[in-house]
């Protein structure tokens, strides 16, 4: 079963995910957007990629980590050094780190396709051409698709025969980790790949913080 909310803490210290512009652009991006190999997701077994992601061995991962626990997300917002943070107003334009709340009530459809793996659909905000205000009358929301994965259930289902998979399971148990994979296909010169974008329409709150 999907939880009602999932949480992500992120300061994006290397600016790989361009987090601070996400409110304006309307989408988050995974590390794939920072020069990753879009074909990699098709060239390995999915459980192998989950293990690599959860053990820090996938250098430019296509997955985005979340947690069922808001306190765990806040720990990741503090970073490796566990820096103290101070809460800011939600509408603050300048901030250092954030905890994002993913509200799964915004999904228009979901179904469990394998133990712990959920195929989900949601809609974007209606899009229109701001240069032509009357075009809003014809604006339509677009459908987006993602996989949301309960890492613990998934790894217990596929098995943890290797030391890496056992370490991935231990990490996921500690962090109550879930991951998201965008699965919207885009046609490129090199072939079809999945996009790196996750629309912010499924995010209900941005808790923003400054370093104390």
Per-domain residue ranges of the chain? 5-211
Q: How far apart are CA 92 and CA 75, in angstroms?
A: 21
pTM, entire model = 0.90
Mean pLDDT by 10 residues, the chain (212 residues): 96 86 87 80 93 93 96 94 92 93 97 98 74 57 92 97 97 98 82 86 95 94
Alpha carbon distances (Å) from 184 to 120, 147, 194: 11, 10, 5
Alpha carbon distances (Å) from 192 to 18, 37, 120, 185: 24, 12, 20, 6
Q: What is the CA radius of gyration of the chain?
A: 18
Residue 4: how many CB atoms within 10 A of its CB?
10
Q: How far apart are CA 83 and CA 198, in angstroms?
A: 27
């Amino acid at each position: 079963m999907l939880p009602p909310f999932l949480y992500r803490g992120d300061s994006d210290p290397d600016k790989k995910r361009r987090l601070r512009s996400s409110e304006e652009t309307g989408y988050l991006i995974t590390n794939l957007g920072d020069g990753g190999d879009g074909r990699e997701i098709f060239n390995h077994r999915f459980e192998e990629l989950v293990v690599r992601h959860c053990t820090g061995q996938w250098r430019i991962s296509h997955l985005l980590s979340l947690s069922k626990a808001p306190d765990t997300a806040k720990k990741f917002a503090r970073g490796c050094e566990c820096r103290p943070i101070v809460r800011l107003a939600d509408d603050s334009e300048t901030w250092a780190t954030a905890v994002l709340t993913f509200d799964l009530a915004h999904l228009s459809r979901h179904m469990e396709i394998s133990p712990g793996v959920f195929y989900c659909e949601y809609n974007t905000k209606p899009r229109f051409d701001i240069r032509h205000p009357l075009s809003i009358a014809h604006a339509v929301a677009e459908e987006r698709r993602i996989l949301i994965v309960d890492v613990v259930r998934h790894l217990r289902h596929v098995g943890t025969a290797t030391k890496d998979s056992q370490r991935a399971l231990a990490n996921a148990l500690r962090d109550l980790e879930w991951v998201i994979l965008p699965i919207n296909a885009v046609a490129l010169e090199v072939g079809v790949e999945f996009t790196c974008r996750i629309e912010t329409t499924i995010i209900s709150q941005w808790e923003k913080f400054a370093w104390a």
